[in-house]
Amino acid sequence: MSVIRNILNSRSSKGGNFFNILTKILGFKPKSITHYKKAFTHRSLNRKDEEGNAINFERMEFLGDAMLSAVVASHLFKAVPGGNEGYLTKMRSKVVSRKHLNELGKDLDLIAHVQTNIPKNQFGVNIHGNLFEALIGAIYLDRGYKYCKRFIYERVIDPYVDIEQLEGKVISYKSLVIEWCQKEKKEFDFNIYEDTGNDELKHFAVKLRIDGRVVGKARATSKKKAEEKASKRAYYALQTQMD
């Protein structure tokens, strides 16, 4: 009876449209939209359950991240029987990278369905990936591992996981450059400073030096982004040596 009641509730005039949207996104009908509503609730609403626990997508995001990682790890373990632990870990990181998850969440336009008190144009880019992980967590709670795995295969593994392409994909140029410098016993440093210029947003500029020589320069709206851009330029400048 509780299942029937949940289905009826999910198709009420208030949530019927959301039920149809979910069905289209998921590729199957949810048993109850309760978990999915939580997966699209932002903390800015400050909602709490009867026991005073916060209701928002953050805990769901944690669960979805774990489920996504487990399913991808299982797939890679079977697909690459000769891969060692380090190789499999790097390959999994490429599949579940924040950039990739943001693209997946954006493709599904998940942000259009989030409930929040904050203007959506003020969210950072990571909201897309966070909602994607929260959605996976909701699927697991609603329909269990089987449907969760099915969704991940249809939306992530089947269309995007190509072993040969992943082997050549760089996750972080900064990490790549640092590993190379350490291996070759080269000294390196990132010289970062504020660079406001004429931009409305504060920018940071960075110079990457290797053995005292500037090999990459960049500027961006955060120190992390500036370091990554400078590292990418350094990688292409030194690609022959690094390869």
Question: What SS3 class is residue 5?
Answer: helix
CA dihedral 48, 49, 50, 52 (to 10 degrees): -50
Whether 203 contacts 219, CB under 8 Å: yes
102 annotated as ligand-binding: no
Q: Which two tokens stand for residue 82?
A: 């000769």
pLDDT of residue 35: 95
> What does the alpha-carbon distance between residue 23 and residue 29 come to, in Å, rounded to a whole number?
5
Spans in the chain with pLDDT lower than 70: 1-16, 196-200, 243
Amino acid symbol at 71: V
Q: Which two tokens stand for residue 28?
A: 């199957």
227 annotated as ligand-binding: no
Whether 137 contacts 67, CB under 8 Å: yes
Tell me the catalytic residues: 65, 133
191 annotated as ligand-binding: no
Among residues 167, 162, 158, which one has the least CA distance to residue 83? 167
- Cα–Cα distances in angstroms (integers) from residue 158 to residues 152, 170, 224, in the given order: 9, 20, 31
Q: Going from the N-terminus, what domains does the chain have, and what CATH number goes with each?
A: 2-167 (1.10.1520.10), 173-242 (3.30.160.20)
pLDDT digits 0-9 by tens, 120-166: 989 999 999 999 999 999 999 999 999 999 999 999 999 988 887 78
Among residues 156, 130, 5, which one has the least CA distance to residue 70? 156
Q: pTM here?
A: 0.68
pLDDT of residue 5: 43
pLDDT of residue 31: 94
Quick one: DSSP state of residue 38? H
Among residues 132, 138, 115, which one has the least CA distance to residue 45? 115
Strand partners, 217: 207
